[in-house]
Amino acid sequence: MSTAPVRLSIVIPVFNEEPNLPTLFARLYPVLDSLGRRYEVIFTNDGSADRSFALLSAQHAARPDVTRVIDFNANYGQHMAIMAAFEKVRGEVVVTLDADLQNPPEEIPKLLALIDAGHDYVGGFRLKRQDSFFRTFASKLINYVRSRTTSIEMTDQGCMLRAYRRPIIDAVVRSGAINTFIPALAYTFASNPGEVGVQHDERLAGVSNYSFYKLIRLNFDLITGFTLAPLQLFTMLALACAGGSFLLVLVLAYRRLFLGAEAEGLFTLFGILFFLLSVCMVGIGLIGEYVGRTYLVVRSRQRYHVREVIEAKE
C-alpha cells in the first residue's frame, strides 16, 4: 500500500441505493484512478433497508486500499451521514457527491481544478436541473429567502457536488452542529469560495429519499441554522400588530364615548381577534424552532451511532 498522503477524499451518503451502487462504482473509480492522486472513498450507509450495505462491503473487499464504509445503525439523514464521514476523512481535499448518480462523477475534476487554482471551497451549481417542477420551484424560493436573510452567497444550495479544503471540513466537524445544512455551514468557514456549473442527471433508479416532510425539516435547518431573521421578522410583525390594535382600541373608545355603543362591529372584532391569535401561533411555532435546536445542543446528545467501520488499517 502506498504511504503517500491521501490527497483526495470522496464522501458519499447512501440510503437505499442498491440499484444505483453498481453503476456508481463503475463510473466513479475510473475517474478517480485517472486523477493520479492518492484518494479514498468514504461511504456512509445511513440505515438502508435494502442490500446497500452488502454492496458497499463487497466494494470494500474489491478495493480495500481506497474504500471505507461507515455503517449507521439507523437513518440519521443525508447531512449527518456526510458529517460522520467528515470526522474520518484523511484527504487534503474533500468532495461530496450523491449516490444516485444525479451528480456525475465525471464532473469531479472540474471542482478539483478550482481547488488547485486556490479556492478553499468550490460549490457546484446544476446547469440543467433534472428534478420535478415542485422541487425546482421550492428550491428557487428557499434560495431567494436564504440570499435575502443570510450572508451566504451561492447559486445553488441544494447541489451536493462540492469540494472543500481540509481545514474547512475540520472546522465543520469541530462546530459540533446537529441540525445543519453542510454546504451553508462550510461556506461560513471559507475564505475564498468559488463556483462551477456541473451536469445534473435524473436519478438513475428509485425515487428521491426526500419526502415533503423531510424537505421542510431540511429547509428549516437551513434558515434557522444561519439566521435569526424569521424571529426578527416576527418581532416586527408583532410590533406592527400591537400598534394597529392600540389604534383600534382608541377608535373604539372614541366611538363608545361620543357616538354610543354599537353591536354591529362585534364580528369584525372576532375577525381581528382570530387574526391576532393566528399571528401568535405562528410566532410560538417559530420560537419553538429555535428552542428545539438549543435543547438539542444543550443536552449534547450523540449525533448518530456508528455500528461498524470497514476500512484498511493505515
Where do contacts with ligand UDP occur on this chain (CB under 6 A)? 13-15, 17, 46, 75, 77-78, 81, 98-100, 102, 203, 208-210
> Whose Cβ is closer to Mg ion: residue 100's or residue 107's?
100
Pairing, β 306-310 against β 93-96: unpaired
State the virtual CA torsion across 186, 197, 23, 100 in degrees, nearest 10: 50
- Indicate the residue among 116 and 201 with the shorter CB distance to Mg ion: 201
Place of cell 484527504: 91
Nearer to ligand UDP, 15 or 119 (CB): 15
Query: What do you get for the CA distance between the two ends of the chain, in Å?
Result: 9
Q: Measured from the CB of residue 47, what is the shortest distance to ligand UDP in angstroms?
A: 8
Partner touching 99 among ligand UDP, Mg ion, none, CB below 5 to 8 Å by kind: ligand UDP
CB 107 to Mg ion: min, Å: 15
CA distance 231 to 137: 24
Contacted entry of ligand UDP, Mg ion, none for residue 13, CB cut-off 5 to 8 Å set by kind: ligand UDP
Least separation in angstroms between residue 79's CB and ligand UDP is 8
Contact 164, 120 (CB under 8 A): yes
Q: Can you read off the three cell numbers belonging to residue 7?
A: 490527497
Cell numbers found for residue 271: 375577525
The binder of 220, among Mg ion, ligand UDP, none, by C-beta within 5 to 8 A per type, is none
From the list Mg ion, ligand UDP, none, partner contacted by residue 15 (C-beta under 5 to 8 A by kind): ligand UDP
For 185, phi then psi, to 5°, come to -60, -45
Least CB distance from residue 13 to ligand UDP, whole Å? 3
CB of 185 to ligand UDP, least distance (A): 16
In the complex, the residues that contact Mg ion under the rule CB under 5 A are 100, 102
CA distance 50 to 102: 20
7 vs 135, beta carbon nearer ligand UDP = 135
Which among Mg ion, ligand UDP, none contacts residue 77 (Cβ within 5 to 8 A by kind)? ligand UDP
Closest to Mg ion by CB, 71 or 100:
100
CB 72 within 8 A of CB 306: yes
Closest approach of ligand UDP to the CB of residue 106, in Å: 17
- Rounded to the nearest angstrom, the gap between the alpha carbon of residue 8 and the centroid of all alpha carbons in its chain is 22
209 touches which of ligand UDP, Mg ion, none (CB within 5 to 8 A by kind)?
ligand UDP
Find the Cα–Cα–Cα–Cα dihedral 238, 243, 245, 246, rounded to 10°: 140
| The residue type at 1 | M
